[in-house]
Amino acid sequence: MPVNVGLAQLSDHFLLATVFFYALAVLAYAGDFAFGRRSAPRTAGTEQAAPVAEQALAQAPPLPKVAVGAGVAARSAATVPQAAPPATLSGGAGQPGSAAAQGAGGDGAGSAEAAPSRWRAGGAPAGPWIRAALALTVMGLATQILGIVTRGMAEHRVPWGNMYEFVMAITCAAVIAFLGLSFRFRVYAVGFFLMAPIVLALGLCATVLYTAAGPLVPALHSYWIWIHVTAMTVAIGAYIVAATFTVLYLIADRHARKQAIGTEAGFGAVLARLPSADALDRLSYRTVIFAFPIWTFAVIAGAIWADQAWGRYWGWDPKETWAFITWVVYAGYLHARATAGWRGRKAAYIQLVGFASLVFNLVGVNLWITGLHSYAGIN
Amino acid sequence: MTEVRVPAATGRPEDAADGLSQLPGSPGPAPRRGGRGTVDWVRWGWRQLTSMRTALILLFLLALGSVPGSVLPQQGINPQAVQEYYAAHPALAPWLARFSLFNVFAAPWFAAIYLLLFLSLAGCVVPRTFRQFGAARQQPPRAPRNLSRLPLSVTMASPLAPDAALAKASALLAGKRFRVRTGDGWISAEKGYLREAGNLLFHLALLALLVAVGMGGLFGYKADRLLVAGQSFGNTVTALDQFRPGRLVSSSDLQPFSIALDSFSARYVASGPDTGEPASFNAYLSYQEQPGAPTRRYDLQVNHPLNVDNVKVYLIGHGYAPVFRVADGTGHVVFNGPVPFIPVATSTLMSEGVIKVPDARPQQLGFAGVFLPTTVDVGGKLQSAFPAPYRPAVSLVSYAGNLGMNSGVSQSVYQLDTGRMHKLAVAPRPLAPGQSIKLPNGMGTLTFTGYRQWISLAITYDPGQLPALLAAIAALAGLLVSFLVRRRRVFVRAAAGAEGGSSVEFGGLARTESSETFGAEFEGLSKDLSTALASTGMAAPSADIPASSDPPSSPDERE
């Protein structure tokens, strides 16, 4: 079936609109750092964001600490929170710097949390700048999804068959993952650090990587492209978000260490608007926990497809090799994070190594190494 | 997956994250150097090997070791690229070869890494399996004295006497599939044992995966075969172009099927920017599972292999085989058949090939040239404009002399050794089907009678494939279980309170990381508990428990 040129052009316009909206969103996220009100519902110091973000992370409403009452009173009392410290759940006793330790002292935020609303839930509020940025992000996401859908309709096939389309898809997945986490855990301020690289990637998409709409080569004629590549897309989108959290964790952790020994530490104003180092680390871990099984599944699906297409389920093709390396390093991250002496910064660096191998697989292997996965469409 | 091992070298119980550290046998002190002797050293070495740190380092070595396999050309994947590398880097290449860097994934050092890793894994997982079975029969630990010190706790009053309150609490928790242990004035309950089981399943499945891959390497084989339309072959070592058996495969193990190529059709994109790109390939096969078996047909396509007797046959390439008839100087037809030409440009299928006529008299004849499916003349130079055969032609250079086929040195059928031949003076002219070259000096005639298409087939037999798939699925399932199921404990203590009632303490503790949703679960549980404890009716408990199982209180395997 021939390519529908009109729809393909429409898709290109949607891409431009997406870049436009996302770029504006980045400006708005930056505007929050520059002009956002610092006080708002935050009562005290710069570290105020931490307990609340953590509370959101814990996803537990304030817990009842009920005084001894009589009979029936207990029934209602159990549902009415009183004097609620943020309910934080650490992994267990004796985890240093855990949420529990911070939560115990975090009574200051209590009054603000008594009536939680989505936008003013305490320490990490969405001010006007953030609200504008989120609205722009959502608009950009809408045009991006429309762009991907119209591209697929124009080509009568899955809209992630070459590198241009794949970068479109993974950035879309990353934005969805970020928005989901952002609304759930109120980590809006992270948006700047995620969206800025995404705008750059989409800019490259529109210029360097651009590939005109066309059919798939026969090697990709398989329903497995839906399974394998879609799973890869979702996993990579989540890994991108996790890597953003981890980079910010490393910066925030360095800042906290410097402050602890009294040295001058930069970026204080920016970090004050972000979740605490610990919360960033935990968010990153959770995101990897989400992405890793999907990545595993995607690799297995790829092996099944490779078996059907090439006659072997694993052949150390460069793409396979790097998918394996990525898997191994992320597995190392998950183990390291549960091992004394590796937890924290070391584990974070391991995750970034895994992410680097992921990016190399996407960019380096597509462009510089010849293998069976040569579908980039770039000459 | 997470909190797997207590690093043996340090042996601190808190090394295993999140309090899941009551594994017995946290190793004792480091061995006294210069002390006991070999047994201690072996024990120490084993502990080092099975420690998390060693496993992590081996994991990274595995990742690092794979890198050259993707950066340097590999013998098993692209032997030609290896030869080119040798030609381009004559000094460096032998050194790289000395470290097996052109065959990384079969290298001894690579095998050493993954075998050590799996040994480390086995040394950790197998003892854990036994402990796991032991733990599964053990009861939860006693309730701590002061529940208000737990991360989550709540106190409530009940009109029930302490014993009755505890009985109700016990029934409630048991109804929510907690494992309940009761004591004097307390209840201890635990849930989420599956997490450890998932963790173990994952690691055991990885071991099984390695075994399955090894099985494929020992008992499987791979082969290639080029097949011209109208021809057939049987699955025997002599009929296969290339045969790469596993270590324990002999020629008699080959499944006795036979395959014929009835016809092949390829379609290409005819317009637009992707002109000449392939759109679809169909190879229409007839095959027999064994001699005498009924003949079946199969439409072989890319991504749709033929499965015959557990052997898979794949379509991996295609091309043209021009058909030639050669009459020699004596007038005898000494050659008549198709000759597969190898594509040199995939977008136009311009193909190169040679014809060897060893039976020609007085001299042997050889021809080398190109086949052009859609011939166009670009400034006096012949090219192919499109991969489909719209205007096929061949252009050949003719040689006479000694083909060198009897010299004992094996020859490629796709190359002409012109060392002992001389070029014949024939005016270069492309031949359309039906046209001939008349060789000078009465040496004979070559006629280009037409063309056929050929396909190349990859034939693989891998008995480890299904086990590998099952192992991979088991690994994924184990991974999901270990990520999704959280271990958590709750405790209840009841003491006599006012007016014959009791004061009930309820405390909880999540024992794994990323267990943030336990807060919501605990809240739901405490609501249910206070509801259950508020009513004094004897019939209440049984009616209470199902009524109280509202969704938020049982997010067990959710999230």
> Which H/E stretch holds residue B366?
strand B364-372
Whether residues B310 and B358 fall in one domain: no
Task: Output the pLDDT for position A110.
Answer: 31
Q: Are B443 and B307 in contact (CB under 8 A)?
A: no
Average pLDDT, chain A: 75
- Is the residue at A352 inside a domain? yes
Residue of B nearest to A320 (CA): B70
- What tokens does A47 get? 């570290």
b (16+ CB within 10 A) / e for B514-529: bbbbbbbbbbbbbbbb
Long-range contacts of B231-236 (CB under 8 A, 24+ apart): B231/B260, B231/B261, B232/B258, B232/B259, B232/B260, B232/B261, B232/B286, B233/B258, B233/B259, B234/B258, B235/B259, B235/B311, B235/B459
Q: Is A56 exposed, middle or buried (0-12, 13-18, 19+ CB in 10 A)?
A: buried
Is a pLDDT exceeding 50 seen at residue A317? yes
Q: How far apart are CA B454 and CA B241, in angstroms?
A: 14
- Is the residue at A230 inside a domain? yes
- Is the residue at A56 inside a domain? no
Is a pLDDT exceeding 90 seen at residue A227? yes
Whether residues B419 and B349 fall in one domain: yes
Q: How far apart are CA A103 and CA A112, in angstroms?
A: 15
| Preferred mutation among B215, B299, B523, B559 to probe A, highest tally of A CBs within 10 A | B523
pLDDT band at A299 (very low <50, low <70, confident <90, very high): very high
- DSSP letters, A299-358, are HHHHHHHHHHHHS-S----HHHHHHHHHHHHHHHHHHHTTBTTTTTHHHHHHHHHHHHHH
Is a pLDDT exceeding 50 seen at residue A234? yes
B10 vs A158, more confident: A158
pLDDT tens-digit map of B474-521: 999 999 998 888 888 889 988 887 777 888 888 888 876 545 567 778
Whether residues B353 and B415 fall in one domain: yes
Residue of A nearest to B486 (CA): A91
Domains in chain B, number: 4
- Is the residue at A246 inside a domain? yes
Q: Which of residues 266-325 of B touch A (CB under 8 A)?
A: 269, 271-274, 277-281, 301-305, 312, 314, 316
Phi-psi region of B408 (alpha: psi -120 to 50; beta: other; left: phi over 0): left
Whole-angstrom Cα Rg for chain A = 23
**Paired residues of B396 in beta bridges:** B369
CA distances from B177 to B144, B296, B493, B547 (A): 21, 56, 19, 15
Whether residues B546 and B527 fall in one domain: yes
Task: Output the pLDDT for position A125.
Answer: 62
> Which H/E stretch holds residue B500?
none
Q: How far apart are CA B232 and CA B339, in angstroms?
A: 15
pLDDT (mean) for A351-357: 95
Whether residues B527 and B427 fall in one domain: no
Is a pLDDT exceeding 90 seen at residue B178? no
Cβ-Cβ contacts under 8 Å, A89 against chain B: 151-152, 510, 515-516, 518-519
Q: How far apart are CA A297 and CA A265, in angstroms?
A: 42
Q: Are A78 and B523 in contact (CB under 8 A)?
A: no
Q: How far apart are CA B455 and CA B73, in angstroms?
A: 26
ipTM score of complex? 0.75
Cβ-Cβ contacts under 8 Å, B77 against chain A: 315-317
Task: Output the pLDDT for position B50.
Answer: 80
pLDDT (mean) for B428-451: 89
Across the interface, do B479 and A218 touch by the CB < 8 Å criterion? no
CA B435, B441, B442, B444 dihedral sign is negative
- C-alpha distance across the termini of chain B, in Å: 18
- Is the residue at B298 inside a domain? yes
**Paired residues of B444 in beta bridges:** B328, B439
Give the distance, in angstroms, between the CA of residue B467 and the centroid of all CA atoms in the same chain. 12
Which stretches within B385-539 are classed as H helix?
465-484, 518-534
pLDDT tens-digit map of A165-187: 999 999 999 999 999 988 888 88
pLDDT (mean) for A156-168: 87
Q: Is B197 helix (H, G, I), strand (E, B) or coil?
A: helix
pTM of the shown model: 0.75
Cβ-Cβ contacts under 8 Å, B475 against chain A: 296
Task: Output the pLDDT for position A276.
Answer: 82
- Is the residue at A326 inside a domain? yes
A341 vs B323, more confident: B323
- Is the residue at A222 inside a domain? yes
Q: Which of residues 132-161 of B touch A (CB under 8 A)?
A: 151-159
Is a pLDDT exceeding 70 seen at residue B301? yes
pLDDT tens-digit map of B520-540: 788 888 888 888 888 765 433
Lowest mean pLDDT among A206-215, A368-377, B76-85, B91-100: A368-377
Task: Output the pLDDT for position A107.
Answer: 34
Domain that holds residue B506: 140-192+486-553
Whether residues B85 and B188 fall in one domain: no
Tell me which residue in A68, A214, A285 faces B274 most closely, judged by beta carbons. A214
- Is the residue at A359 inside a domain? yes
Query: What is the 8-class DSSP label of residue A275?
Result: P
Q: Which of A3-12, A233-242, B235-244, B545-554 has the highest mean pLDDT?
A: A233-242
Whether residues B493 and B439 fall in one domain: no
Q: In terms of DSSP bridges, do strands B311-328 and B333-338 run parallel, antiparallel, or are they unpaired?
A: antiparallel
* pLDDT above 70 as % of chain B: 87
Whether residues B301 and B241 fall in one domain: yes
Q: Is B213 helix (H, G, I), strand (E, B) or coil?
A: helix
pLDDT band at B125 (very low <50, low <70, confident <90, very high): confident
A53 touches chain B (CB under 8 A): no
Q: Is B419 exposed, middle or buried (0-12, 13-18, 19+ CB in 10 A)?
A: exposed
pLDDT tens-digit map of A42-94: 333 333 444 444 444 444 333 344 333 333 333 333 333 333 333 333 333 33
Is a pLDDT exceeding 60 seen at residue B461? yes
A366 vs A20, more confident: A20
pLDDT tens-digit map of A103-133: 333 333 333 332 222 222 223 567 888 889 9
Is a pLDDT exceeding 90 seen at residue A147? yes
A145 touches chain B (CB under 8 A): no
Task: Output the pLDDT for position B536.
Answer: 62
B195 vs A300, more confident: A300
Q: Is A66 helix (H, G, I), strand (E, B) or coil?
A: coil
Whether residues B19 and B131 fall in one domain: yes
- Is the residue at A189 inside a domain? yes
Tell me which residue in B154, B273, B458 faces A66 most closely, judged by beta carbons. B154
The residues, any chain, with a CB within 8 Å of residue A192's CB and separated by 6 or more, are A26, A29, A30, A32, A33, A133
Domain that holds residue A309: 5-34+126-368
Task: Output the pLDDT for position B264.
Answer: 93
Whether residues B310 and B326 fall in one domain: no
Task: Output the pLDDT for position A265.
Answer: 65
Hey, what's the torsion of the CAs at B220, B225, B231, B234, to 10 degrees? -30
pLDDT band at A371 (very low <50, low <70, confident <90, very high): low
Is a pLDDT exceeding 50 seen at residue B161? yes
What is the amino acid identity at position B425? A
Whether residues B312 and B325 fall in one domain: no
Q: Are A182 and A191 in contact (CB under 8 A)?
A: yes
Q: What are phi and psi of B224, to 5 degrees?
A: -125, 155
Whether residues B337 and B437 fall in one domain: yes
Across the interface, do B460 and A312 touch by the CB < 8 Å criterion? yes
B129 vs A322, more confident: A322
Across the interface, do A311 and B222 touch by the CB < 8 Å criterion? yes
Query: What is the 8-class DSSP label of residue B531?
Result: H
Q: Which of residues 417-476 of B touch A (CB under 8 A)?
A: 458-460, 462, 465, 468-469, 472-473, 475-476
- Is the residue at B65 inside a domain? yes
Task: Output the pLDDT for position B516.
Answer: 58
Q: Are A169 and A233 in contact (CB under 8 A)?
A: yes
Q: How far apart are CA B295 and CA B289, in angstroms?
A: 8
B245 vs A76, more confident: B245
Hey, what's the torsion of the CAs at B519, B523, B528, B534, to 10 degrees? 140
Number of residues in chain B:
559
pLDDT (mean) for B37-45: 86
Cβ-Cβ contacts under 8 Å, B159 against chain A: 71
Across the interface, do A64 and B272 touch by the CB < 8 Å criterion? no
pLDDT band at B373 (very low <50, low <70, confident <90, very high): very high
The residues, any chain, with a CB within 8 Å of residue A5's CB and separated by 6 or more, are A154, A213
Task: Output the pLDDT for position B5.
Answer: 39
CA distances from A99 to A253, A289, B85, B333, B508 (A): 15, 19, 56, 90, 16
Tell me which residue in B314, B483, B522 faces A311 most closely, judged by beta carbons. B314
Domains in chain A, number: 1
CA angle A153, A375, B88 (to 5 degrees): 165
Total beta-carbon pairs less than 8 A apart between chain A and chain B: 259
pLDDT (mean) for B204-232: 90
A364 touches chain B (CB under 8 A): no
Task: Output the pLDDT for position B302.
Answer: 82
Q: Is B155 helix (H, G, I), strand (E, B) or coil?
A: strand
- Is the residue at B207 inside a domain? no
- Is the residue at B41 inside a domain? yes
A313 touches chain B (CB under 8 A): yes
- Is the residue at B104 inside a domain? yes
Q: Are A233 and A217 in contact (CB under 8 A)?
A: no
Across the interface, do A340 and B303 touch by the CB < 8 Å criterion? no
Across the interface, do B10 and A224 touch by the CB < 8 Å criterion? no
Q: Is B449 helix (H, G, I), strand (E, B) or coil?
A: strand
* CATH number of the domain that residue B144 is part of: 3.30.310.80
Query: What is the 8-class DSSP label of residue B320?
Result: E
